[in-house]
Amino acid sequence: MFHILIVEDDKNTRKLMNAIISNEGYKTFTTENGKDALDILDKEHIDLIVLDIMMPQMDGYEFTKTLRSCNNNLPILMVSAKQLPEDKKKGFLVGTDDYMTKPVDEEEMLLRIKALLRRSSIVNERRLTIASVVLDYDTLTVSRSNDVQVLPQKEFYLLYKLLSYPNKIFTRLQLMDEIWGMDSETSDTTLNVHINRLRKRFKDYSEFSLIAVRGLGYKAVRNDEV
């Protein structure tokens, strides 16, 4: 069972979030500020934090910055009434993993929690399994039975990224920024070449496919989830 810490200073919001999340089968812990949240982390195993920003004693920004400065990479979902782009940007800059604005959609919040937990598991294991196919992040290999392929670094990172978020559409800019870096002069052509190479490599693999979404970018479909 996953353990989720809810850090929210508004009593009614905290109780509502606690009910929604615990009813989904998660074990929950609650507190009203970042300072007390740090105390809970010292005593309990926590898998994910749902975090408000505006709180007494230690706000969400300071809490996240403190956690990341200690190399603690627990997934954090910020949930705040602050809706301006600069507020979201600040949240991501201090180290949050996702950001939602209040009032939250209950179903969307649960989906985001599920996605963050799944991603955290993938990152910690550094392995991704799709039916009989295994992607090993440390060796840059994709294997199926006795077929083991060592991929060039960029090709592997691109495939691993897409397959880690099945059915999620990534824009070309997102992929170029993450795989090649924001300062890179990588063009659409380079990205397309890498996608085509991956398609050719794995054309006989029925477990997954890479799909171009016209006018948007690319997504991966995992056929073990169909």
Q: In terms of pLDDT, which residue wins out, 99 or 73?
A: 99
**Tell me, what's the pLDDT at 226?**
45
**Tell me, what's the pLDDT at 84?**
83
Fill in the amino acid letter for 39: D
What's the average model confidence in pLDDT over 52-64?
92
**Tell me, what's the pLDDT at 183?**
54
Taking the C-alpha atoms of residue 39 and residue 35, their distance in angstroms, rounded to an integer, is 7
CA distances from 39 to 51, 67, 99 (A): 15, 12, 23
Let me know if 200 is exposed, middle or buried by CB neighbors in 10 A (0-12, 13-18, 19+).
exposed
Yes or no: say if 157 and 135 are a contact pair by the CB < 8 Å rule.
no
Q: Per residue in 117-175, pLDDT tens? A: 887 876 677 788 898 999 998 899 999 988 999 999 999 999 998 998 888 888 888 88
Yes or no: say if 171 and 216 are a contact pair by the CB < 8 Å rule.
yes
Please state the pTM of the whole predicted model: 0.59
Q: Per residue in 6-34, pLDDT tens? A: 999 999 999 999 999 999 999 999 999 99
**Tell me, what's the pLDDT at 66?**
92
Taking the C-alpha atoms of residue 200 and residue 81, their distance in angstroms, rounded to an integer, is 46
Domain with CATH 3.40.50.2300 in the chain: 3-124
- 179: part of which helix (H) or strand (E)? helix 172-180
CA distances from 199 to 13, 63, 68, 173 (A): 47, 43, 37, 20
Q: Per residue in 80-126, pLDDT tens? A: 888 788 888 899 999 999 999 888 899 999 999 988 888 787 667 77
Yes or no: say if 162 and 220 are a contact pair by the CB < 8 Å rule.
yes
10: left (phi over 0), alpha (psi -120 to 50) or beta: beta
Domain with CATH 1.10.10.10 in the chain: 126-222
95: left (phi over 0), alpha (psi -120 to 50) or beta: left
Residue with tokens 């300062």: 183
Residue with tokens 């039916």: 131
Bridge partner residues of 30 (DSSP): 6
**Tell me, what's the pLDDT at 123?**
67
- Nearby residues of 212 by Cβ (< 8 Å), 6 or more positions away: 195, 218
State whether CATH 3.60.21.10 applies to domain 126-222. no
Q: In terms of pLDDT, which residue wins out, 226 or 199?
A: 199
Q: Per residue in 161-220, pLDDT tens? A: 899 888 888 888 888 877 887 556 667 789 999 999 999 999 999 999 999 998 889 999
Q: Domain spanning 3-124: which superfamily?
A: Response regulator (3.40.50.2300)
